[in-house]
Structure 1
Amino acid sequence: MPGRGGHPAHDRRARREPGGDGSRKRHGRHYTPPALAEFLAERTLAHVRPGAELSILDPACGDGELLLAVARVAAQRFPRTSLRLAGYDLDADAVRVARQRSAGSDGCRAAGGDEQAIGDLGAVHSGPGRRIAFEWRHGDFLRAADDLSAPAFDAVITNPPYVRTQQLGGETARMLSRRFGLSGRIDLTHPFVVTVPRLLRPGGVLGLLCANRFLSTKAGANLRSLLHAELPPVELYDLGDTRLFDAAVLPAVTIAVRAGAPHSCRFVTTYETGLEPTTAADLFEALMGRDASVVGHAGRRIAVEIGTLRTGGDPMAKPVRRSDARSRASEFTGTFDPAVPWQLSRPDTDAWLRRIGAATWRTFGQVAPIRVGIKTTADRVFISDRWAELAAPPEADLLRMLLTHNDIEPWRIDRAHDTRVLYPYDLSQDCRVPVDLDEFPCARAYLEQHRQMLSARDYLVGSGREWFEIWVPQRPRLWCLPKVVFPDISVTPRFALDRSGAVVNGDCYWISMADIGAERIAYLLMGVANSALGPNFYDAVCGNRLYAGRRRWITQYVTRLPVPDPDTVAARSLIELARALAEGEIEPDPGRLDECVAAAFGLRNGSAGLRPGGPP
């Protein structure tokens, strides 16, 4: 498929829709680029069992790109098979464009033959031994699905709207959760996929294009559970760093078969790298290759990693070999656990994880709780680096130093600005106890200026809280104690030791020394996290990568990082090195740190052992 993946496609919907990016985000409308539509159609039809006619549905068809791609691909793959292609969408303008495209010269040339009208639904294209009928319907598919006969389709191909809970609104999210049996945080993709199994014939195929978040986030457990139980994936492509969309969408393609037998699933990931290209193939050719490669794409270099899908289990545990088919499949997929991110499994990576697992004493989460920083939900009121410019600033006792992601470097704190938070809580208490504002007249006067806005936070006031509180204050008494802090998003890990007593902002996470227990263990945690082992382990086990190599260092993932036995000679050397780095006694030396971490985990050949595929 030469030339398909060279550049991100313009979002056709953005040009038509009033409100631009904001409206598109609220409604989750991101049109499928033609090259990606063709790839999705090809991979979907590769698993379809053709008969005299194929019926294929797109429940969120937009301007028809996916079904038009199906018509083009099917003309080559199944030249004598008739097609019934049905599309639904809430956007009347989009449906009108889809109808025009299918009836126009582009659609006719793709399908071949003569055109006949079908009322106002679409067009029929007839050719030798085959017939292609398009049906375009303006309406709410989630309501219409109840009236569709089941099972009615050989395949469903879709790029459903992606709208997260905060855009849906609480009431709508709760209604969808009840109706479709979902739990936790949801997005609009979930109910669309829930409707698919009932509509697919046995052996029918789902070709799903959606945000890759479902692979690794807690909110993705709904979708992971559904796919595992009713639509086992056979191919999965994490297209995270490809930037195939103009919008900030990190897509994934899932090809799944209804009620398929247990089997291995081909899993391919694509993320930016600093390595030189290893092939002249384009992105889509590399996705279908047998071996991993690095390709040039849109002016960047993309590492294409190829393996199988692991859907659960402990990747660091020694595998158990069995002979039956179901167990042979589980060698690839692991014991399913919806709470566990889906991971790329490769022999070299799996062997590396088992070596790490054999030398792991505890995980970070077993050592101590990992907490997010404060969340005020009114930052412009509570957070500033210009308090001194006020005529009567709040009392100094309530203005606490605040650490943000801008202040944290590996090992140490480097505050660029004197940012402070108005923190209206008693710092001697374990749990939140608001201060008496009568004792702080300047703070009261300042907050009263913003009372209307603060009181409008119904979620806070409605829960019995004071109007001047912040939403997530965390544990007031713990702020004065030393703590390990790190930003939630960064390319490389930036774990540092803070002794200032500062409050930690919500764009960072922290581990209190009160929970860790011993300072030497805090140094050990920082040593492991700040080494090459940190990002390599994250990529192999957690997998939630953003654009340009950025990673999410949040509780769900950091809790899984391994910790070696602190009482070995090698671990004590690592602890001493980490202490000297954290206290600023020596300058960082990444090579020396990696050597010490490798020794603490019993890995030979030094730092080379800290990456998958490295020597044991």
Structure 2
Amino acid sequence: MGSEVPVARERKRHGRHYTPPALARFLARRLLAHAPDSGVLRVLDPACGDGELLLALHCEAAARRPELRLELTGYDLDAAAMSSARARADAAAVEIDWHTGDFLTASADLADASYDAVITNPPYVRTQQLGGATAQLLSKQFGLRGRIDLTHPFVAIVPRLLSTDGVLGLLCANRFLTTRAGANIRALLSAELSPVELYDLGDTKLFTAAVLPAVTIATRCTQDAPCRYASAYEIDRDDPHSATDLFDALIGGHGTHVTHNGRTFAIEIGTLVTGATKPSGHRADPQPTYATRTDAERSQMVVDTPSAGHDLTTLGERRFATSDVDCAPLVGDHSTAPGELRSAAMDVDRAAVSATSAAMYFDSAGGSRVGAVGDGGAARAGEQRYVGAAAGCSEAWRMSRPGVDAWLADIGAATWRVFGDVGRIRVGIKTTADKVFISDRWAEVEPCPEAELLLELITHHDLGPWRVRRACDRRVLYPYDTARPARTPVDLVEFPCAADYLRVHKDVLAARGYVTAGGREWFEIWVPQRPHLWRVPKVVFPDISERPRFALDRSGAVVNGDCYWISLADLRAAGDGERLAYLLMGVANSALGLAFYDAVCGNRLYSGRRRWITQYVSRLPLPDPHTRAAAGIIDLVRDFVDGGRPHDADGRHLLDERVAAAFGVVLEPSAPR
């Protein structure tokens, strides 16, 4: 067992998560459905690992496109993996041109349009593993922005290398669909390519590692049809609608439930909404990227940067509400023309789909809404204001289905503000030395710091809907003056016991060079947040939970980094702070709030858990607090929080009814309860 830990650590460091054979065949099959009729198909895998994808493509082409002659090329940095790939290809009598080395560097010598298809499961290595200097070099070299991982430059290179009718088959973590860090990939796929098929494979556990994968098929040429979008997520039931295989169900004509490896999954089918005003099948106006620069410009940008030429990635997250779209099944062989979806749902008025979906979107940067579609001008304060093309690729991608879209549009029409408009959503403290700063056994510590500096700490274990119930007396040594609005460390001379305790751990704390490099004291917490705001009541909720658990805290406790919080000091600037707090909790803890999250934010982990981070929570809608319907929500939540009313089935049902009525909608029949 001990030997497995270093292996897992090494895989994470280099992004080595090789593609399972069944998934490799599915990716190859979908790529071939859109491959050009050229007689010869030049195929590249820039991070081929042990060769699984290229070998799967060879097998699928022999069965489905026997007229094609394949010219296969594979690159990888891992010599051991390449040796295995060569041996496998030789055993199968498959001719492949292998290259051991750094593809990101080697790609500079490859001519434009060198390949007709790229099939890849690129390495996923986060910025923390890459190192800041390497990440900055890659960002500059490939025209990337924000937080990057090693997948981004691999995808950035693809458009230049593809022929005009070429196709990309991309397997990567599904987190690119919804996270801010995934904006680079969304931008590349929107501006340089045209997505035609998207499969969010969610928590299917196809990989042995904790990977939530997605498959994207995108063509170099513009497509008229919107991108077909299918997803698979586990549901808590054992009565599948169909005995169909998981992968066959994903290309089927309608949503269904299937069993795979003893677990039941909901297959949901719709079309892709990217946040742009054009349908997803139309390529956005190109922006200057690595692929569109001239050879001279690219040659000046190429630098020697380390890369891991291996395979996939880490945790991704995604989930949408249940399917209400019936589509004709996709055909796995080439009887389906490239880009042809043969779907009844695709015949809907694309302009209407585009306009409707654009009207749903909230600005992911801060939760503010930026102008209603067709509103004829800027919206006044308090009016609904939604974002269209201006959001661009900063918007999360989501699944569009007529029933869900209409439901969201009705909610949008009744939205007064979103959460991000009325209060700042902050993460809790990050000490980067929890063993030193946090304990539930301070009485046993020698020397024990002064009680004045040992503040109660709220973690995700303490939160339920409405109320904070501390699981234990966990406290944080918080070396700040909580009476001052500016972050001010205490004078340790005034707290000799705390000073002695911290000096015992000085080697550990002083080793955090990033703290002292910012001109701060060696004993400080890395992210202490706003010390003076802890005393103010606040809404607190966990970072990760299956269902929403928004609670009101009046204890003055500090919030840990596994939770987020909204201070009533911020809410008061937007109105009656306490009433707004009750309204926020009512919407967030309701079935409508959960269904809205799944439809618009959709960041899901394993076992149905959701991420309740600023980017997503800021989008949740609020009805006008001055209406009678909103007053009904506020009164009920006050009873839950302060009146001792039990949060039982009757109470939840009443809350759900009042929240739905405040937005003038009924809950979807399949909305989470």
Superposition TM-score, scaled by structure 2 size: 0.81
Task: Identify the match of residue 570 of structure 1 among 617, 629, 634.
Answer: 629
Query: Which whole-Å CA distance do the structure 1 matches of 2:639 and 2:277 have between them?
Result: 34
In the other structure, the counterpart of 1:33 is 20
Q: Is the 8 A contact 1:262 1:326 kept in 2?
A: no
In the other structure, the counterpart of 1:358 is 413
Larger RCO (alpha carbons 8 Å, 6+ apart):
2
In the other structure, the counterpart of 2:141 is 179
In the other structure, the counterpart of 1:483 is 538
- The answer to which of 133-142 and 508-517 deviates more is 133-142
Query: Which whole-Å CA distance do the structure 1 matches of 2:357 and 2:165 have between them?
Result: 20
Shift of 1:542: 0.4
Task: Identify the match of residue 177 of structure 2 among 196, 215, 225.
Answer: 215
In structure 2, relative to structure 1, the CA distance for the partners of 1:611 and 1:429 (3 Å cut) is: farther
Query: Which whole-Å CA distance do the structure 2 matches of 1:523 and 1:401 have between them?
Result: 23
- In the TM superposition, 1:69-468 aligns within 5 A as 69-104=56-91, 107-108=92-93, 133-261=95-223, 263-275=225-237, 276-312=239-275, 327=351, 330-331=354-355, 334=358, 335-336=388-389, 337-468=392-523
In structure 2, relative to structure 1, the CA distance for the partners of 1:482 and 1:536 (3 Å cut) is: same
Matched, 1:556 2:519: no
Q: Is the 8 A contact 2:356 2:405 kept in 1?
A: no
Which deviations, in whole Å up to 9, do the C-alpha atoms of 1:358-407 show, x marking residues without a partner?
Answer: 11111111111111001111111111111110132111111110000000
SS of aligned partner of 2:449: coil
User: What letter matches 2:654 in structure 1?
Assistant: R
In the other structure, the counterpart of 2:297 is none
In the other structure, the counterpart of 2:340 is none
- The answer to which of 581-590 and 371-380 deviates more is 581-590
Matched, 1:610 2:667: yes
Shift of 1:333: 6.6
Query: Which whole-Å CA distance do the structure 2 matches of 1:523 and 1:327 have between them?
Result: 39
Q: Is the 8 A contact 1:481 1:501 kept in 2?
A: yes
In the other structure, the counterpart of 2:286 is none
Task: Identify the match of residue 42 of structure 2 among 49, 52, 55.
Answer: 55
Query: Which whole-Å CA distance do the structure 2 matches of 1:47 and 1:295 have between them?
Result: 26
Q: Is the 8 A contact 2:356 2:409 kept in 1?
A: no
In structure 2, relative to structure 1, the CA distance for the partners of 1:198 and 1:326 (3 Å cut) is: farther
Query: Which whole-Å CA distance do the structure 2 matches of 1:479 and 1:264 have between them?
Result: 49
Query: Which whole-Å CA distance do the structure 2 matches of 1:441 and 1:274 have between them?
Result: 55
Shift of 1:548: 1.2
User: What letter matches 1:219 in structure 2?
Assistant: A
Which deviations, in whole Å up to 9, do the C-alpha atoms of 1:73-117 show, x marking residues without a partner?
Answer: 11122212211100011111111111111111xx24xxxxxxxxx
Q: Is the 8 A contact 1:310 1:332 kept in 2?
A: no
Query: Which whole-Å CA distance do the structure 2 matches of 1:461 and 1:262 have between them?
Result: 55
Query: Which whole-Å CA distance do the structure 2 matches of 1:62 and 1:426 have between them?
Result: 54
Q: Is the 8 A contact 1:264 1:329 kept in 2?
A: no
Shift of 1:274: 2.3
Q: Is the 8 A contact 2:539 2:551 kept in 1?
A: yes
SS of aligned partner of 1:19: helix
In the other structure, the counterpart of 2:565 is 510
In the other structure, the counterpart of 2:313 is none
In the other structure, the counterpart of 1:118 is none
Shift of 1:583: 1.5
Task: Identify the match of residue 653 of structure 2 among 576, 581, 591.
Answer: 591
Which deviations, in whole Å up to 9, do the C-alpha atoms of 1:540-585 show, x marking residues without a partner?
Answer: 0001111111000010000000111112212111110000101152
SS of aligned partner of 1:142: helix
Paired residue total: 564
SS of aligned partner of 2:139: helix
Greater per-residue strand proportion: 1
Query: Which whole-Å CA distance do the structure 2 matches of 1:15 and 1:475 have between them?
Result: 42
Query: Which whole-Å CA distance do the structure 2 matches of 1:549 and 1:41 have between them?
Result: 29
Query: Which whole-Å CA distance do the structure 2 matches of 1:19 and 1:520 have between them?
Result: 52
Hey, which bits of structure 1, 4+ residues long, moved more than 6 A?
A: 14-18
Q: Is the 8 A contact 1:281 1:295 kept in 2?
A: yes
In structure 2, relative to structure 1, the CA distance for the partners of 1:313 and 1:576 (3 Å cut) is: farther
Query: Which whole-Å CA distance do the structure 1 matches of 2:537 and 2:662 have between them?
Result: 25
Query: Which whole-Å CA distance do the structure 2 matches of 1:579 and 1:197 have between them?
Result: 55
Query: Which whole-Å CA distance do the structure 1 matches of 2:487 and 2:667 have between them?
Result: 42
Superposition TM-score, scaled by structure 1 size: 0.88
SS of aligned partner of 1:149: coil
Query: Which whole-Å CA distance do the structure 1 matches of 2:221 and 2:160 have between them?
Result: 11
Which deviations, in whole Å up to 9, do the C-alpha atoms of 1:240-284 show, x marking residues without a partner?
Answer: 111100100010000011142454101111111124311111110
- In the TM superposition, 1:511-550 aligns within 5 A as 511-517=566-572, 518-550=577-609
User: What letter matches 1:51 in structure 2?
Assistant: S
Shift of 1:288: 0.5
In structure 2, relative to structure 1, the CA distance for the partners of 1:460 and 1:283 (3 Å cut) is: same
Which deviations, in whole Å up to 9, do the C-alpha atoms of 1:479-507 show, x marking residues without a partner?
Answer: 00110000010000000000100000000
User: What letter matches 1:578 in structure 2?
Assistant: V
User: What letter matches 1:448 in structure 2?
Assistant: R
Q: Is the 8 A contact 1:309 1:332 kept in 2?
A: no
Shift of 1:459: 1.4
Query: Which whole-Å CA distance do the structure 2 matches of 1:328 and 1:534 have between them?
Result: 26
Shift of 1:52: 2.3
Query: Which whole-Å CA distance do the structure 2 matches of 1:260 and 1:560 have between them?
Result: 32
Query: Which whole-Å CA distance do the structure 1 matches of 2:153 and 2:481 have between them?
Result: 44
Shift of 1:330: 3.6
User: What is the root-mean-square deviation of aligned Cα atoms in Å?
Assistant: 2.1
SS of aligned partner of 1:234: strand
Unaligned segments of structure 1, at least 5 residues: 1-13, 109-122, 124-132, 316-322, 604-608
SS of aligned partner of 1:480: coil
- The answer to which of 565-574 and 191-200 deviates more is 565-574
Matched, 1:494 2:556: no
In the other structure, the counterpart of 1:119 is none
In structure 2, relative to structure 1, the CA distance for the partners of 1:43 and 1:28 (3 Å cut) is: same
Unaligned segments of structure 2, at least 5 residues: 279-346, 359-387
Query: Which whole-Å CA distance do the structure 2 matches of 1:592 and 1:346 have between them?
Result: 28
- The answer to which of 83-92 and 449-458 deviates more is 449-458
SS of aligned partner of 2:416: strand
Query: Which whole-Å CA distance do the structure 1 matches of 2:402 and 2:611 have between them?
Result: 25
